[in-house]
Amino acid sequence: MANSKSDCSVEARFLEAPGKTAAAADTGPAAVSTAEELAQILRTRIQKSELAPGEWLREVKLCNEFGVGRSIVRRALRALADDGLIEIEENRGACVSATTVEEVFDLYEVRAALYGLAARFACLRGSDAVIRRILEKIDILLAQAAEIAPAEQIIETSETIFSQMADCASADTQRMIEAVRRKTRFHFSYVALAINAQGPGPFEYWRKVREGLEARDAEKASQGARDILYYMQGEVARIMLARGPRLRTEPSAAQPPTSKRTPTKKRGGG
């Protein structure tokens, strides 16, 4: 996995022109032996904008870079296609998918529901030792926020906490949470925290989760967890709209031309 970078570098990566990507050397080729390992490396690069939307992933190049055969590369690409991170076109290859505001909004909505369930199950089923470990991690996260730690570090800590809570859920629920995690482009979250580093962020909701877990108040912990994701959902949608990605629209007769022309006539944001 790439090393953590400063908030400014995270924001810069996000705001790069679509045709520009971070140097592949930042991540560095890693020795892989399975399709799952290769898929995870490529997934991380996509999620951190090191592979830009529309960029082609060539089988021969990936084989040479990672020292694996085409069968491993193809299985890895199929896994990424199942996650919605790339599109495989017959006779052309695979390219990184463009993310719409709709897709990101929906993913955060689903994450909010599942993470709320994870917090609820932790309250109801977690042993005292498990709850203690989660509370300790939340204290670390709040300390990181107070010190204005790099956004990537805070997100990684938060994901560790949610993993600990999800461990209290059923196997099926854990699989659903993991599937949504794989599909979510976490670099949006990095940027949302980086840009708002001096603000309150979602940390008031983390305090509610902590209070709920400590008191074994499942409703309070669950609502706090959902509110964390709703906060990130709103921030990410705002950033994406400011950056200019288009919502997916139906190919109706009048709508697309008007929506394309309107922004060019307006000079101020509205």
pLDDT digits 0-9 by tens, 124-147: 999 999 999 999 999 999 999 999
Report DSSP state, residue 170: -
Residue 194 reports pLDDT greater than 80: no
CB 229 within 8 A of CB 111: yes
Mean pLDDT confidence for 53-79: 93
Residue 31 reports pLDDT greater than 60: yes
- What span, in angstroms and rounded, lies between the C-alpha atoms of 204 and 210? 10
CATH of domain 16-96: 1.10.10.10
Question: What is the pLDDT confidence band of residue 188, given thresholds at 50, 70 and 90?
Answer: low
Residue 12 reports pLDDT greater than 60: no
Q: 71 exposed, middle or buried (CB, 10 Å; 0-12, 13-18, 19+)?
A: exposed
Give me the phi and psi of 89, to 5 degrees please.
Answer: -110, 130
CA atoms within 13 A on the CB side of 16: 19
Query: 3-state SS of the chain: helix, strand, coil percent to 5?
Result: 65, 5, 30
The segment with the largest mean pLDDT, out of 13-17, 29-33, 88-92, 192-196, is: 88-92
Residue 23 reports pLDDT greater than 60: no
Note the pLDDT of residue 53. 86
- Rg of the chain, C-alpha, whole Å: 20
Note the pLDDT of residue 182. 75
- Average per-residue pLDDT for the chain: 78
| Domains 16-96 and 101-243 alike in fold | no
Give me the phi and psi of 54, to 5 degrees please.
Answer: 90, -10
* Helix 218-243, helix 101-125: angle, nearest 10: 160
Note the pLDDT of residue 15. 31
| Per-residue b or e along 146-169, where b marks 16 or more CB atoms closer than 10 Å to that residue's CB | eeebbbbebbbbbeebbbbbbebb
If you count them, how many residues does the chain have?
270
CATH of domain 101-243: 1.20.120.530
pLDDT tens column, 215-260: 999 999 999 999 999 998 888 888 777 765 444 434 333 333 333 4
Give me the phi and psi of 179, to 5 degrees please.
Answer: -65, -45
- What span, in angstroms and rounded, lies between the C-alpha atoms of 189 and 1? 17
CB 182 within 8 A of CB 42: no
Give the three-class secondary structure for 6. coil
User: Tokens representing 138?
Assistant: 């939340």
Note the pLDDT of residue 265. 44
Residue 59 reports pLDDT greater than 50: yes
Domain ranges of the chain: 16-96, 101-243
Report DSSP state, residue 97: P
